[in-house]
Every structure is written in structure tokens, then in C-alpha cells.
Structure 1
């Protein structure tokens, strides 16, 4: 976006200053003889006082930076010194003691004030670095050279070639002071740390430069200028100085005390205007001489070639600025996408440390991963998965591979992420592996819940028949397996006498007892109703028989249910074999279980 000046409202101070400028012309052109110089010095003193008041107000504005406050204080001091000198000169004029010349006292006060503000501006931090600062100095020096050329042509050359030594010294000191102030202002205008907006700075610089060359230019343009016209040419630029300060105050107050730091400073046209003005001054200077066609031809060629170069540079700068704006817009667009994306992007270096992590990393994991080895955030059980991903990427550079891994959140929990890695270590602008990750914790939790529901009994939380069969298939081939089928005795009586809720409590209690008894040595499953199964990897017939006895005793312990204590028994069938004999083992265990049940009933 191109910088825009803050639009100022109709300000009463600016209106008064503008009205003073309008009334200045008829007053000095129609003033009685002798009244012009006195009123001119009095008006100059009033302008100085107004500038001091506004500078102090800018110094006191809230939110003003330390360096800006120092600048406005120096401005107030400088204009106070100039005001003292102008009041002194006004007194001499009113009393008739000026003798038509400017007092050295007035010159000394003005020069001292100018030197004060020049030193402050030279000490003001410029900001930027390297070539940016070099461009700033070159642009400022170009404008200064043009101002110096105008001062020399319209003021210094004439003063130094004739007149009294004191007058020459005063004119030279004043001109040099004004030139240095103009240079300081121009330097700050180009600087990104200027204590004023560009509009206020340009108006102020124009006022300072105009104060130095206004009257000499008018003298050069008119052979015998009217004294009133000279005073107008001298005072009108002076009015621009308090106007620039007031514009600055109005703009800053409208911004609530904030500096226009967001203003993007594109290339400045001032250096090119300065070069063009200097070329025109050259032509004006040559007009008065008795020159031949050869000199004029060379002059025309120099001016035309300079103009063409300036136009070419301006066109190139406009194209560059438009390109910079487009790139800036694209950068802001991409940055906005990255800033608000929930899918995180991470770039890891060869040593595994994170070189870049998008803002989504902080939202997903609670912290920025930059500079930390990615392995420190991965779940230990998922490190083989990550190593496999890296191996696949190394085997096929430029391709991508994906997996689901867990990364640790700052709260200690782990988040599931589906990550896609792309090996871009061969790309010099990336020089790393790019990981794009999406948080799938909730979907994984839902999948795990659905998977658990599909493989576990809803009442007891034990494995169901499907999971039991899966565990048999997953067993190492040719290893021994023991299977126990358990059917509860007396369970129907509990349901009939105490209700199905009591029966559910019995089933839950039996599941807990069997699970606690078996631990991690096998798998306990509920096959349906009051029938359970126990899978024992590596167990032989003797071990299975011992476990069956312990299990039957545990089940037979009294079970408290709502409003009563009940007891059930367990009929257990045992079979031993290999995973390939799973169907046969289940049939044999089932047959033995029913034989044991019939025997227990007959004994009862």
C-alpha cells in the first residue's frame, strides 16, 4: 500500500497562519514609507514565538519517543534564540539605530540557534543499515548540493564578490546555517526514524530553504525589486516553519499520539527534483553570458541527457515499487494463511533439529519447536515409525512419505498427527525435510473407541470372541497354546431371584477376578451370556489344569450384589494345542466343559 498523508481538518492555527500570509502582500505593498521594515521584523518575531509555542507542545505530546522529544526541545531552543535576535533587530529598527544593516548580534543569535538544531539532527539515529543507509546519505547529499548551488548563485557569490566584510561574513554564516538545517531536515525525511511525518518535514525544509534564498531569488528575477516584495519573499517561507510544526501536531493528535510507524516509505522524488532544478539553474546562469553555439549545444545535450536519465530512473523506480508492493501483498497473503492455518509445517535440518515451525505448532503442541530436536517431542514407541519414514525419504529424495505419530504436548499429553514428509535437502532455499502435519487426535480417539467397541464386551470390558480369534491368529506358529472355557453354574438362579441387574454385577465381578488372577499372562474373553474363555500362550496341560483349579476357587467366592450376597460356581473345559489347532481346541474345551457341568449337576 502506498503511504497516505493523514488528512488534517480545518485547524484554527493553520487558518490564522494562512490568513497572515494572505494579508502580508497587500500590507507590505501598500504600507507607508518606513513602516515596512519595522512591521517586517515584528512579524518575524511573532513567527518565531509561534514556532516556539508549537515546538513545546510537540515536546509535551504523550507517546513521543526520547529522540523525537530531544528534537522538538532543540527546535524550541533554536527558535527562541532566533526570536531573541529578531526582537533585538526590531528594537534597533524602531529606534532608528539599525542604519539599514542587520546587526551582528541578530546574526549571532540566529546562527547559534541553527547550529543547535543542526547538531541535534546530526545526532538523531537514522535507522536502517548497510546499503539502505548509504542510499539515505546519497539522496540527502544530492538535495544538499542543489540547495548549495542555489545559495551560491543567488546569495553567496554576490555577497562574497562585493560589499562590506561584515556583511559578507553575516550573509555567509546565515546561508551556511540554513543550508545545514535544510540538509539535516532532508536527511531525516529520508530516514525511517524521522520525528515528523514526511509532509511536515517537506514543508519545514521548504520553509528553511526559502528563508535563505527567497529574497535573493526575487532580486535576481526583478532588476530593481520593491522593498515590500523583498520582505514578502523573505517572510512567506518563514510562515511555512510554524505551519509545518502545526501540521505535525494535528496529524499526531489525530493518531492518538501514535507515530506513523506503519507508513511505508517508498523511493523519494526529492533527489531527482533537485537534479532537475540544478540543471535549470545552469541554463539560467548561462543565459547572461556571451556564449557561442558550441557551448549552448553542449549545454542542451547535458540537460537533455540528464533529463532522459532521470525519466528512465523514475520509470524503473516506479516499476520496482509496483513489484515490491505486489511481493509485499503476496507475502502478507501467504503469511496470513500460515498464521491462521491449523495444519502445522515443520522443517528439520540434517541433525534432526527444527529449523522452522509454523505458528500452528504452538496451537497444536503448546510450544514453538524451533531449535529443538524433533525426537524429543516424539512418543518413544513411535520412534521406529519416524526412523522408517526418514529411511524411505532418504531412499527416494524429492518424494514424500506419510505416517501417523504421536508428539508430546506441553501439558504432558500426546497428540496424534498425520505427517507427510518431503525431502527438500537438495533445495538450497529449504535445505531440510519439510513435514506437514494435521492433528488427528480426536479422529484417532474415535477410531480407537470404535475399535474397542468392536473387539470388547460392553458390560465387562473383556475381549470378545472376535478379539480372541485375532489373538490366536497373531500367536507365533507352532507354539503351545492353552484354552480354558468357563461356564458359570447357578447364574440363571441369580437372575431369577435377584434380577438381571444382579446378574450383570456377577458377570462384572467374575471378569475382574479372572483378570486379576491372570494378569498379563494371557487373554480373558467373554463369549456371550455367562460363558468366558481364557487364552494361555505357552501353557501345557499341567499348567492349564492348575490355573483352572485356582480360577474355579476364585469364582466360587461370595459376590455382593444389590441387597444380597450370592455365590456361583464354574464349570471349566481345558484344551491344549498349537494356533493351527484353534478350532479343534475350542471344540474339545467346550465338550469337556459340558461334561464337567453335567457331573457337577449329578453330584448336586
Structure 2
């Protein structure tokens, strides 16, 4: 019930969706092609209708011929329209447009002739034959029009120009044309003898026979023109369609005798639409070809038309000799077979030849492509390609020479290849030529400068190969490219790799190379000066790196002005410079070092800031120096000695120069060993603190202590701070030692506070180095120590030097951060720094410690004690506490009290004491022990 049954009696659509889609696609394709070519499509439909009507007429003689004649006239008219349309295409050459214009006229005349023929056939008073039946003979007007159309077309075809041919090609063309014309003549002769009387008897006139012969010869001439001469201006496919159309039209008259039994049928009703359709296709093909790029020319390997004519003539021979049991028939048949076999064999040979020619054409085309590609590469290459003869003159120069040297290629040919080479590079070019001429196939390269047309010299890289052994070259082939920008870039990179980017001076690498070379050339007359700017880091910290860079640039200019021509000025890094002096005596080197110190000691304008630069110079070498300062063979050793001398100059007070001595090596070795031992001592607990009391004047009561670090060496015993503190500052250990001193002092002060209260001691003073103040985390480290030990910030006093904060920057910011914690700050050794009074306005301090230098003079003349007195007045005016350091006599203590000093310290009161002694004093003062500080009397 619910089953679907396929019944053969029910209509069923077995088309799948895919097949249905394919049919639709095919229909759309056909429709699109028809819409793109409307006239040929319409004519194709007319041909089909005409053929169908002709077939129906043969079956049903009573059918009216009017529709068939209408189709015939319409086909010719549409063909004329198609030809005129092509003749108006502006992209076609003028001869081609004239040709299609003439074909349009011929098609129009054909339409008129067909209309006249149709009128004669349909007229009630048309011509009747002897038998009284309708006649197939066209009227005079129609016949003239038909002949006129053929003649116009033939005239247009013969006017087409043909390509140039050789004498041999013209001879072959004449022979082929003679064969075809002779064959056509034989057919015409046979038709005149055998067919023309019968046609005249049927039609009642000899004009049809004459017309057929004329049309046949016209068709033959057209075929000769189209097939043999092959008009090159026409599209070859259009040419083939055109030939088919002419032959199809010409055969219409020849078919008329076959229709003598059906006088109501006319062959013109089929042949004219067919010929019109082919002509319209040819016109459309020509129009489409005009819109496309021209195809490459094709070689015509052979033509079958002459062989077809020979074969047709053999067939005519066989027809004319058709006699039963005749010997002539056998001979004619054998001749025809032999002719066909020879023709087939010849065609096969032609095909083989055509294949060979096709391969040859393909090879030639590929060769031309390679040649064009090579020519394009040579002509459009950025490199200049040249061929030089054995006499070193240019035989060929590529057009790119104008891009490389600005000189046209034709100007270089015939000139010597070295004509534009820089004089200094001629030896290089001659060496290249000699290397190349040594043997065929040799390849060499060089870089030379050549003169450009604009007068500049360009660096060129030449890569050349000897091709004298190649018969097609017979010269030296060179490829030259402009490397001027590459050389400039390489030189710039080389300069950047060997010079300082900021100052333009030689860098450490180049300086070491030149030093080594100078020592190798003459080490006894080589001197080296190492220059380090004093306190340069403070400039960067206070004023910024832009000002620091400007200062370094100005310093470099001053150093250039101090040296002699040939000496080397280098920046080794940071604020460190070096001078390499060659051919100089020791005395001259000393004088130059003095000039450097003086030149750098004058104020410098750096980025709008007026700065005073000081430098320490270490000097080594020079002819005639001390034996210990004699020549060395190693550049690094020379630089090491200068470095030792430079540090010696810094230790002597900076802003001076020092010459290297052997003692500096001994001192350096000692410092190195002491630095290593100092690091071990910190870890081993060999460092300890002593505390120097700070007393009140005049009674000498204990008010505070200053923590002083000491070193008890297991072998050397007590090591003076004057020995190990500079070493620690140089190797950076001062930061670790300072942190330990701060923690230990705070721990001790906190312990005294817990045990004895706040009355005995007011503050613990701890010295802080400049290196510690430049540590970004120093203020936080102080806060951490106070929290760890429980010491109040006001119980701690940090003593700093004027030099540490004179230039401001990070050190001054650190001092301000410490003051914000509540920790006191004192300026140690006040009065011996850069500018003490100006510093008191910028640095947040609450105590001054007057240096021993001024304390020593207070008991002398009024002039000698004036500074100490002035400092006390300044401290009172600024509400600062002031402490006198280095008090050694009671007279100094008495005078200081008279000048207004209320705090002092020195050997007169007490030497630095261990924590146990201070602990005893505090206990005695608190009533817990017998020991106490006995204050010396200030006056007797």
C-alpha cells in the first residue's frame, strides 16, 4: 500500500539534479555565445530553416517557394551588414577595412541578385521552357548581379597585400597555381564539351553554362589567393571561413543540372544562405581577432590544394575513359591510384617536414626568448657589463653604463678600459689585467674608483673573466657595479666600531691597536697619558647626563688642541681619556701633561652651565725617562702603569699629573693584597670600633662619642685607618664596612641607652663616606638599622664631608632623606672643602665640626684665629652646633671656649676608647662604678 512502484507505463523523469544542472549550464553557454555573436547566430538559424524548407519542397512540390526566397535575400543582406560592421573597426589596418567594405558591397549586390532571381521565379510572367515547365535559369539582371558579386569579392581579395617572398618561394607559388589552374581548365573544357550542351538544352540558353564556368574560375582564383598566397593581414581562421564561403557559393550553379527533373527547386535557396553564414562567421572572427593581441606568425608547412587538383584531374581522366572492358580504363585507373599513392606519400613527407619545422620553430622561439631575456637583463641591469679586447680597449658596453657612470654606452666603445680609473687605483687595475691575461678562463676581482660624468669619483667593484678562448666573445667579460654607498656605509661602520660615538675620538680598541703599533715601531719614544675627570659623576647626578655629555665633548676638544699632529686622543669610557704620544721625549711629555691639566682647569661652558673641570693625569714613557719608566713591549702594561700614575695623582690632591715610578707598582701590589685581606678581615671579625669622647667646654663632661673603625691584623697587628680606608674606598668595600660600622655603633648606643638612660650621652656620631651617600638605598638602610637596634633617630649623628655633597645630585638627596628620618647630620672637617658657606644654604645639617687645621691656630695671632672665630659666629647665626676637632692643649681648649665653642674633642680630653672604657665612665657617672672621665683643667 505504501510502496512506490516504478511502472514502465507511467511517465518518469530519470534526470538527476547533477545532469539537470549540466544541461542548464550548457544552455546558458550556448545562449551567451549566441548573444555575443547575434548575426552569425541568426544566419545559422536561417541556414537550418532554408535547408529544411528545401527538403520539404523536394517532397511536396506544391509548397510555395516564397519563404525560401525571402530567407535567401535576408541572409545576403545580413551578411552585408556583418561585413560593414567589421569594416568600421578602428583597430584594423586600413587595407583590411577596405577589404571587408568591398565584401559588404559584394554581399549587397548578391542580395540584389537574389531578389531579382526570386522575382523572376515568382512572377506570373516568368520565362518558360520549351516543355512549358518553370525554368531554373536566372534572369539577365540576376545573372549580372551574381557575376558582379563574385567579381567584386575577387577584386577585393586580389587587392590584399601579400608578404615578402623569396624568388624560390615565388617559383613554388607559380608552380602550385599552374597546377590548380590547369586542373580547373581541364574541368572547364570537359564541361564545355559534355555538360554545356545538355545544360543549354535543358535551360534553353547557353548563359547558364557560361555563368557556371565564370563562377568556377572565380572560385579557383579565390582559392589560389586564399590558400596559396595566404594574405597575412587577415586572421587565418577568418581566411579559412572565407574560402569555404566562396567555394560553397560557387558550387551552387554547378548543382543546377542535378535539379533539372525538379524545376520548382532552386539550389540558390541553400547555397546563398550557407555562403552568407560562412562569410558572417569570418567577419565575426575578424572582429574578435582585432580586439585580441596579434598571435605569433605561423609557418605554412605545405598546401594540399595542388595535390587535390592533381587527384581531381586523375578522377576526371577515369570518368572520361569509362569504357567497359577497355584497356584505357585500366591504365587510367592505375594512373589514378599511383597519383593518389604518390600524393599520400608526399603528404606524409610533408607532415614529417612540418613536424620538424614545428620543432625548429619552437627551438627558434625559445632561442629568441632567451635572447630577449638576456638582452633585457643586460639592458636593464643595474650593473655595467662590458667586453674588453686583448689591447684593453672596450669592445662592448651595456646601456647601464649611463646609470653607473653617467656616460652613454657608445662613448665608451673603442676607449681604453682604464681611461676613467683614478690615478691612485691604476696599479690595482693593471694587476687585475695581468692576472686575467695569464690564462683563458681566469677570473679576478678588484675595487677601483672611476670618474663619473658629474666629476665625482665612484667606487666600483669589477669582477672579470678571461673569455679569449670563446670564439663568440674573444675578450674579457667584466661585470661592474657601483659600491660607493656600500663603501661609505662600511667606512661609517668601521669608524663607529673604532671611534667613540659621543666625542668622535678613538675608542679603547683603536687606541690599543695604535699603542701596540707604536711600541712595535719605536717603544723608547712612546708616551701615554691617562686622564680622569675628578668628581665627574656629581655633574651627571646634579645637572643630568645631557650636561655631562656636553662636558665630555668640550673636554675632547680641549684635548685635541693640546696634542701635536699625529698623536692619538681617545676616550676609553665614561670620563676617562687617554693620549698616545709618539716620537716624544720624557721632558716634552711632562710639559704636555702640564698643559693638559692647565687647559682642563679653566671653566667650561657645557649646555649653558659654567663648570670648572679638574682632571688627574697619569703619565708614563718618553725618550730619556727614568730606567723604571723605560720602554715596554706590551700596550696593556703601558696603560696599567699610566693608570697607577693617575691614581697617584688623585691621592696627591687631584687636578695634577703624576709620572709612573716603580714605587707605584709596589704600592699597587700592597693595596691589592690589603684589599683581599680586608675582605677576609670583615668576615673574620678582625674589625672593631673605638669611641672618641665629645666633651662640653669648659668642664669637660662627656656629651657624646664618635665611632671610629680599627683593624687588628693577626700578623701585622694594628693597621692604621689611613692605610686601609683608601683601599676600601678604591675597591668599593667602604660600603660594606660602613654598613657594619653603622649597625655596630647603633647597637652599642642602644645598649647604653637601655642601661644608663639618655642623660650621659646625647648622640652617637658615625662617619659616612661619599660612596655610601651615592647608594640609592642608603636612607632605607639607616631606617632599617634604627628599627633593628631600637635606637631613636635623634640619638644618631651622621658625619659627612663637604666634598661628598658639594655637587649635589644623589648624595644631597640621600642626606635630605636621612634628615627626614630625624637623624642628625654634621659636616666633618668643615672649612677645608670646596665652598663651605654656600653649602650651608643647600645641605640640611645641624652641626659643624671644625677641622684641626683651624684649631691649631687659635692660640696664635689674631689673623690665625680669625677663621675659627668666624666659624663660631656663623654657627651661632645659623643656630648650628659647632664642635672643635683635634684639641691637644689646654690653651687651645681655653681659647676655643673664649671664642664661643661649647663642644670639643681631641687627645687633650681623651684618645679613642674601647666600648668597655666608655661603659665604665657611664656607669661611674650613673653611680654604678668608680671609673669616670677626669676632665682636664682649661686654665690654671
TM-score (norm. length: structure 1):
0.71
What CA distance in whole angstroms lies between the structure 2 residues aligned with 1:217 and 1:519? 118
Give the drift of 1:552. 7.3
Segment drifting more, 283-292 vs 116-125: 116-125
User: Which residues in structure 2 correspond to 1:406-421 (within 5 Å)?
Assistant: 420-421=463-464
CA contact (8 A) 1:353 1:370 kept: no
In the other structure, the counterpart of 1:181 is: 222
Q: Select the structure of larger CA radius of gyration.
A: 2
Q: How has the CA–CA distance of structure 1 residues 202 and 252 changed in structure 2, closer, same or farther, with 3 Å as cutoff?
A: same
Secondary structure at 2:535's aligned position in 1? helix
In the other structure, the counterpart of 1:320 is: 357
Bigger helix share? 1
In the other structure, the counterpart of 2:553 is: 508
Count how many residue pairs are aligned between Structure 1 and Structure 2.
Answer: 577
| Cα deviation code 1:68-109 (max 9, x no counterpart) | 333322221222233333333443444445675445554554
What CA distance in whole angstroms lies between the structure 2 residues aligned with 1:329 and 1:421? 28
In the other structure, the counterpart of 2:465 is: 422
Tell me whether 1:304 sits opposite 2:341 in the alignment.
yes
In the other structure, the counterpart of 2:571 is: 526
In the other structure, the counterpart of 2:80 is: 52
| Cα deviation code 1:256-311 (max 9, x no counterpart) | x61352x3454447x54313312321221121344275665555444423321220
CA contact (8 A) 1:45 1:83 kept: yes
| Cα deviation code 1:525-560 (max 9, x no counterpart) | 334452233567x99999999998987776566433
CA contact (8 A) 1:140 1:190 kept: no
User: Which residues in structure 2 correspond to 1:537-552 (within 5 Å)?
Assistant: none
Tell me whether 1:493 sits opposite 2:535 in the alignment.
yes
Tell me whether 1:242 sits opposite 2:277 in the alignment.
yes
Q: How has the CA–CA distance of structure 1 residues 382 and 214 changed in structure 2, closer, same or farther, with 3 Å as cutoff?
A: farther
In the other structure, the counterpart of 2:394 is: 352
1:158 to 182, 191, 214: 191
In the other structure, the counterpart of 1:32 is: 61
2:291 to 252, 258, 264: 258
CA contact (8 A) 2:82 2:283 kept: no
Structural RMSD (CA): 5.7
Give the drift of 1:26. 0.6
User: Which residues in structure 2 correspond to 1:55-454 (within 5 Å)?
Assistant: 55-61=83-89, 63-95=91-123, 96=125, 101-103=137-139, 105-126=141-162, 148=181, 151-155=184-188, 157-159=190-192, 170-186=211-227, 189=230, 191=232, 193-194=233-234, 196=235, 198-216=236-254, 226=261, 231-232=266-267, 235-236=270-271, 239-246=274-281, 248-249=283-284, 252=287, 258-259=291-292, 261=294, 263-264=295-296, 266-268=298-300, 271-290=302-321, 291=328, 297=334, 300-322=337-359, 324-325=361-362, 328=365, 347-350=385-388, 351-352=393-394, 354=396, 373=412, 388-403=431-446, 420-430=463-473, 433-435=476-478, 451-454=494-497
What CA distance in whole angstroms lies between the structure 2 residues aligned with 1:307 and 1:320? 19
Unaligned runs of 5+ in 1: 1-5
Unaligned runs of 5+ in 2: 1-28, 129-134, 198-204, 322-327, 625-630, 659-833, 835-940
What CA distance in whole angstroms lies between the structure 2 residues aligned with 1:389 and 1:206? 70
Q: How has the CA–CA distance of structure 1 residues 286 and 58 changed in structure 2, closer, same or farther, with 3 Å as cutoff?
A: same
Q: How has the CA–CA distance of structure 1 residues 386 and 250 changed in structure 2, closer, same or farther, with 3 Å as cutoff?
A: same
What CA distance in whole angstroms lies between the structure 2 residues aligned with 1:249 and 1:520? 89
Q: How has the CA–CA distance of structure 1 residues 479 and 245 changed in structure 2, closer, same or farther, with 3 Å as cutoff?
A: farther
What CA distance in whole angstroms lies between the structure 2 residues aligned with 1:124 and 1:87? 30
Give the drift of 1:378. 8.7
Higher RCO by CA contacts (8 Å cutoff, separation 6 or greater): 1
What CA distance in whole angstroms lies between the structure 2 residues aligned with 1:516 and 1:71? 92
